[in-house]
Amino acid sequence: EDQVTQSPEALRLQEGESSSLNCSYTVSGLRGLFWYRQDPGKGPEFLFTLYSAGEEKEKERLKATLTKKESFLHITAPKPEDSATYLCAVQESTGFQKLVFGTGTRLLVSP
Protein backbone atom coordinates (compact mmCIF):
# COMPACT_ATOMS: atom_id res chain seq x y z
CA GLU A 1 0.00 0.00 0.00
CA ASP A 2 1.25 3.45 -0.92
CA GLN A 3 2.40 5.60 1.98
CA VAL A 4 3.29 9.27 2.17
CA THR A 5 4.79 10.84 5.31
CA GLN A 6 5.40 14.55 5.63
CA SER A 7 7.57 16.33 8.17
CA PRO A 8 7.50 18.44 10.13
CA GLU A 9 3.78 18.65 10.89
CA ALA A 10 4.12 22.36 11.52
CA LEU A 11 6.87 24.88 10.89
CA ARG A 12 7.19 28.46 12.02
CA LEU A 13 9.66 30.72 10.22
CA GLN A 14 10.63 34.35 10.33
CA GLU A 15 10.32 36.25 7.08
CA GLY A 16 13.49 35.62 5.08
CA GLU A 17 14.43 32.46 7.00
CA SER A 18 14.87 29.68 4.44
CA SER A 19 13.95 26.07 5.22
CA SER A 20 12.84 22.75 3.70
CA LEU A 21 9.81 20.51 4.01
CA ASN A 22 10.18 16.76 3.65
CA CYS A 23 7.98 14.16 1.96
CA SER A 24 8.96 10.50 2.30
CA TYR A 25 7.09 7.99 0.20
CA THR A 26 6.66 4.28 -0.37
CA VAL A 27 5.14 3.20 -3.65
CA SER A 28 5.52 0.12 -5.84
CA GLY A 29 6.23 2.24 -8.88
CA LEU A 30 6.19 6.02 -9.07
CA ARG A 31 4.43 7.76 -11.91
CA GLY A 32 4.62 11.18 -10.32
CA LEU A 33 5.05 13.08 -7.07
CA PHE A 34 2.89 16.15 -6.61
CA TRP A 35 3.11 19.19 -4.38
CA TYR A 36 0.03 21.24 -3.52
CA ARG A 37 -0.56 24.37 -1.48
CA GLN A 38 -3.74 24.68 0.60
CA ASP A 39 -4.98 27.92 2.15
CA PRO A 40 -7.59 27.87 4.94
CA GLY A 41 -11.10 27.30 3.65
CA LYS A 42 -9.92 26.46 0.14
CA GLY A 43 -9.12 23.40 -1.91
CA PRO A 44 -5.53 22.36 -2.59
CA GLU A 45 -3.82 24.27 -5.39
CA PHE A 46 -1.37 22.53 -7.70
CA LEU A 47 2.29 23.57 -7.47
CA PHE A 48 4.59 20.95 -9.07
CA THR A 49 4.81 17.47 -10.49
CA LEU A 50 8.10 15.55 -10.38
CA TYR A 51 8.53 12.35 -12.35
CA SER A 52 12.04 10.99 -11.84
CA ALA A 53 14.85 11.05 -9.30
CA GLY A 54 17.10 14.05 -9.75
CA GLU A 55 14.38 16.23 -11.20
CA GLU A 56 13.94 19.76 -9.84
CA LYS A 57 11.26 22.39 -10.42
CA GLU A 58 11.04 25.99 -9.29
CA LYS A 59 8.33 28.57 -8.86
CA GLU A 60 9.13 31.91 -7.28
CA ARG A 61 10.56 31.15 -3.81
CA LEU A 62 9.76 27.43 -3.99
CA LYS A 63 11.93 24.64 -5.34
CA ALA A 64 10.94 20.97 -5.31
CA THR A 65 13.43 18.11 -5.62
CA LEU A 66 12.99 14.35 -5.87
CA THR A 67 15.00 11.27 -4.90
CA LYS A 68 13.98 7.63 -5.02
CA LYS A 69 12.61 7.77 -1.48
CA GLU A 70 11.74 11.36 -0.73
CA SER A 71 11.02 14.84 -1.99
CA PHE A 72 11.92 18.20 -0.54
CA LEU A 73 10.17 21.51 -0.92
CA HIS A 74 12.73 24.24 -0.35
CA ILE A 75 11.45 27.67 0.57
CA THR A 76 13.96 30.48 0.03
CA ALA A 77 13.52 33.79 1.83
CA PRO A 78 9.85 33.16 2.60
CA LYS A 79 7.27 35.90 2.95
CA PRO A 80 4.14 35.94 5.12
CA GLU A 81 2.02 35.18 2.04
CA ASP A 82 3.77 31.81 1.79
CA SER A 83 1.95 30.75 4.95
CA ALA A 84 -0.24 27.75 4.07
CA THR A 85 -0.40 23.98 4.37
CA TYR A 86 1.80 22.18 1.85
CA LEU A 87 0.64 18.76 0.74
CA CYS A 88 2.61 16.03 -0.99
CA ALA A 89 1.00 13.21 -2.99
CA VAL A 90 2.14 10.22 -5.04
CA GLN A 91 0.64 8.57 -8.08
CA GLU A 92 1.43 4.96 -8.92
CA SER A 93 2.65 3.85 -12.31
CA THR A 94 0.09 1.06 -12.48
CA GLY A 95 -2.26 2.99 -14.69
CA PHE A 96 -4.59 4.29 -12.02
CA GLN A 97 -5.01 8.05 -11.74
CA LYS A 98 -5.58 8.36 -8.03
CA LEU A 99 -3.29 10.39 -5.79
CA VAL A 100 -2.39 9.34 -2.25
CA PHE A 101 -1.76 12.35 -0.03
CA GLY A 102 0.33 12.98 3.04
CA THR A 103 -1.18 14.87 5.96
CA GLY A 104 0.71 18.04 5.12
CA THR A 105 3.03 20.57 6.72
CA ARG A 106 1.47 23.72 8.15
CA LEU A 107 3.81 26.63 7.46
CA LEU A 108 3.55 29.95 9.24
CA VAL A 109 5.84 32.79 8.18
CA SER A 110 5.95 35.73 10.57
CA PRO A 111 6.91 39.26 9.46
Applying CB under 8 A, the residues found at the interface with other proteins are 34, 36, 41-46, 49, 87, 89, 96-104
Which residue, 29 or 46, has its beta carbon nearer to other proteins? 46
Which residue, 15 or 29, has its beta carbon nearer to other proteins? 29
Which residue, 62 or 89, has its beta carbon nearer to other proteins? 89
State the minimum distance, in angstroms, from the CB of residue 8 to other proteins. 15
Nearest in space to 76 (alpha carbons), one of 19, 38, 7, 22: 19
Q: CA 100 to CA 1: how far, in whole Å?
A: 10
Nearest in space to 82 (alpha carbons), one of 65, 54, 106, 66: 106
